Structure 1
């Protein structure tokens, strides 16, 4: 056994082909939670979980207790199911990690252990899992199944949104589906929650842009994209209106400035890429954009055509100076950012 896709996992579970151990990780935590609980329910239906379901907090894991449970036999059921949430192997000593890997390797028939991560990043912000987490993942892959629940592509999400809307008696255009994805930053959990609200509100009929704007709250990043677009279009009034909206949403000055700075770095990269004939996909790969931020590159390529490299450099410089001022003076943070927005959105 080894690492498999979510699609292959679905097939296995449908065919009741269970592994003795699973390791679920990735950015799409809602889907991780869904499949973990769904798998536990399949293993222990109809109240079989009373004596046979054991849950552990990975941050306070007692390896001795885990070893004891792993050796127990099912009581009036077919399986013992062990759930371990948010275990970061980097927190374990080398000896403890070796001991845990031994527990995994020695799992007996009738015991299913599920490691699932919904509150930690086993990759520590990098592309691949950290050294100790990789050791544990490799141990699981030899004995059972590993699944990386990455964010779905925009095309996959559009299909799911369309299908769910139709199932609830509603229609939605591709453009509006993509708009929801952008507002929800490609998060499956957020998309599902907002789509439930929209279909309940619309009832039967078309999910319009007006309905989306009325019901779906704007996330910090999605609001910042509109703000940065107004700046590069030299629309100072609109940029300041959008900045006010950010603060109405109770964005902290440092967080707001960080998001704005990131958006302008995206624009600067896009402008240079276009001037050198580099594609969006290459920029995404070169700079390691995660799936939930790929739309940032697409937006940047779209919005940057009428602004010069020199002006973008000036904007990045202004933002850098504002960051220093924000961290080193007592001047009101909102005023500092407003001043920066006015400077950036003024032609020279």
Structure 2
């Protein structure tokens, strides 16, 4: 179930076991708050406990879960980082004594709400313990949101506070936060304070929400690929002023050019936009942006840019010149050759 369904379910029935899986930090925070609301502040003092399985054995959490609530309806137990549900071998939480926990899963304490927070993209569903946890628990989804879900939640949050946001402003907000819901909600709070109950406009977002490094590098690459040296130089100098490491910029530029190239080739082979994100293992919003930009460029042009960046990266790492100057020479040479080609 998602967070909306969880909120509705908790109003009528509380289960003894929950598994919250995913890495979306804002969703995880909101889900924690929903469980906290089941207890009064006084009950939280007496009947709440939290365990990090990177630090302790799950036997401690089970012992606490088996205790009856003290002057309250429930005990609330949060168990973080259950690495034994994944295939990760370097996690200390993967080396746990699970026998007692497996027994508890079969007959949980009805007056305890035990919530497992698994901040992982994937679980190892082949494991016996994972299968048992999923079977016995109510599973809550805290994975990265689809763009449509993200926009809907942002609009709902604003509406609850008596505010609206224009469509153009919402698109720009999602763009500038790179489809990151947690980051977007932080920016919404800033926009709410500034707008003072007035509609949030595109201009407000442009003035108050900074572009991500990804967006700035995309703008730089656009200028380079389009042969606009003056604009490319302007973007590049802005990135240097912001103290961005040139080696990091080069690596990010390679990553973005490679993504444009992959999307260009895959779409030419007939792959639908909806399948690109899962096939490339890339956030859907990055794919959407790259898809929009890829139409402007030819495959050979992108291959040439990628090869040039790889060569520049090698020269930087082997000390064959000043890094800042090497990237600048890449821009000049690429644009000059493009115009004379």
TM-score by length of 1: 0.85
State whether structure 2 residue 24 is matched by structure 1 residue 31: no
Q: Give 1:41-80 correspondences, 5 Å limit.
A: 41-42=37-38, 44-80=39-75
- Partner secondary structure for residue 147 of structure 1: strand
Equivalent of 1:236 in 229, 232, 235: 229
Closer/same/farther in 2, CA of residues 61 and 198 from structure 1, 3 Å limit: same
Q: Hey, what's the Cα distance between the residues in 1 that align with 2:221 and 2:129?
A: 43
Residue matched to 2:291: 301
* 1:177 positional shift: 0.5
Closer/same/farther in 2, CA of residues 74 and 306 from structure 1, 3 Å limit: closer
Q: Give 1:193-342 correspondences, 5 Å limit.
A: 193-289=186-282, 293-329=283-319, 331-342=321-332
User: Does structure 2 conserve the Cα–Cα contact (< 8 Å) formed by 1:154 and 1:178?
Assistant: no
Q: Hey, what's the Cα distance between the residues in 2 that align with 1:305 and 1:68?
A: 59
Q: Hey, what's the Cα distance between the residues in 2 that align with 1:101 and 1:335?
A: 60
- Partner secondary structure for residue 72 of structure 1: coil
Closer/same/farther in 2, CA of residues 170 and 244 from structure 1, 3 Å limit: farther
RMSD: 2.5
* 1:74 positional shift: 0.8
Closer/same/farther in 2, CA of residues 225 and 317 from structure 1, 3 Å limit: same
Closer/same/farther in 2, CA of residues 112 and 231 from structure 1, 3 Å limit: same
Equivalent of 2:83 in 88, 92, 95: 88
Residue matched to 1:10: 7
Identify the range of structure 1 (294-303 vs 182-191) with the bigger mean alpha-carbon deviation.
294-303
User: Does structure 1 conserve the Cα–Cα contact (< 8 Å) formed by 2:124 and 2:130?
Assistant: no
- Partner secondary structure for residue 314 of structure 1: helix
User: How many aligned residue pairs are there?
Assistant: 332
Q: Hey, what's the Cα distance between the residues in 2 that align with 1:302 and 1:261?
A: 18
Q: Hey, what's the Cα distance between the residues in 2 that align with 1:167 and 1:7?
A: 14
Residue matched to 1:129: 123
Q: Hey, what's the Cα distance between the residues in 2 that align with 1:101 and 1:249?
A: 52
State whether structure 2 residue 177 is matched by structure 1 residue 192: no
User: Does structure 1 conserve the Cα–Cα contact (< 8 Å) formed by 2:7 and 2:34?
Assistant: no
| Unmatched runs of 5 consecutive residues or more in structure 1 | none
- Partner secondary structure for residue 22 of structure 1: strand
User: Does structure 2 conserve the Cα–Cα contact (< 8 Å) formed by 1:82 and 1:113?
Assistant: yes
Q: Residues 290-328 of structure 1: CA distance to partner in whole angstroms, max 9, x if unpaired?
A: xxx322222222223332211110111112122222332
Q: Hey, what's the Cα distance between the residues in 2 that align with 1:304 and 1:259?
A: 17
User: Does structure 1 conserve the Cα–Cα contact (< 8 Å) formed by 2:59 and 2:97?
Assistant: no
